Amino acid sequence: MKGPDDRLDFGLTEDQIALRKLARSLAKELYEPHATEWDLAGVHLPESERLRLAGLDLLGITLPTEYGGGGRPLLDALIVIEEIAKASQLAAFPIFEASTGPARVIDLFGTDDQKAQFLPPVARGEKTIAVAISEPDAGSAATDMKAHAEIKGNEIIINGAKRWCTGAGRAEQYLVYVTFEPKSGSAGIGAVLVDKDTKGLSFGPQERLMGFHGIPSADMFFDRLRVPVERLIIPQGGFRKLFTAFSIERLGNAAMSLAIGQSSLDRSARYVQERKQFGRPVIDFQLVQSTIANMVMQVDAARMLIYRAAINAGNNAPQTLEASIAKCFANEMAKQVSDMAIQLHGGYGYSVDYSVERLHRDSHGWAIAGGTTNMQRIRIASEFLGRRFEQRS
Provide the pLDDT for residue 138: 75
Is the model more confident about 2 or about 47? 47
Domain boundaries defined on the chain: 4-123, 129-234, 241-385
What's domain 241-385's superfamily in CATH?
A: Butyryl-CoA Dehydrogenase, subunit A, domain 3 (1.20.140.10)
Question: What digits encode the pLDDT tens for the residues 50-95?
Answer: 999 999 999 999 999 999 999 999 999 999 999 999 999 999 999 9
Residue 157 makes CB contacts below 8 A (sequence gap 6+) with: 149, 150, 151, 224, 225, 226
**CATH tag for 129-234 (out of 2.40.30.170, 3.40.50.300, 2.40.110.10, 2.40.50.180):** 2.40.110.10
**CATH tag for 4-123 (out of 2.40.37.10, 3.30.930.10, 3.40.50.2300, 1.10.540.10):** 1.10.540.10
Question: What digits encode the pLDDT tens for the residues 208-248?
Answer: 999 999 999 999 999 999 999 999 999 998 877 777 888 99
pLDDT at 388 over 90: no
pLDDT at 5 over 90: no
Rounded distance, CA 143 to CA 177, Å? 10
93, 68, 83, 300 alpha-carbon torsion, rounded to 10°? 100
| pTM score, whole prediction | 0.95
pLDDT at 256 over 80: yes
Rounded distance, CA 23 to CA 85, Å? 10
Give the residue-averaged pLDDT of 178-201. Answer: 91
Provide the pLDDT for residue 168: 95
Provide the pLDDT for residue 393: 65
Question: What digits encode the pLDDT tens for the residues 92-101?
Answer: 999 999 999 9
Average pLDDT of every residue of the chain? 94
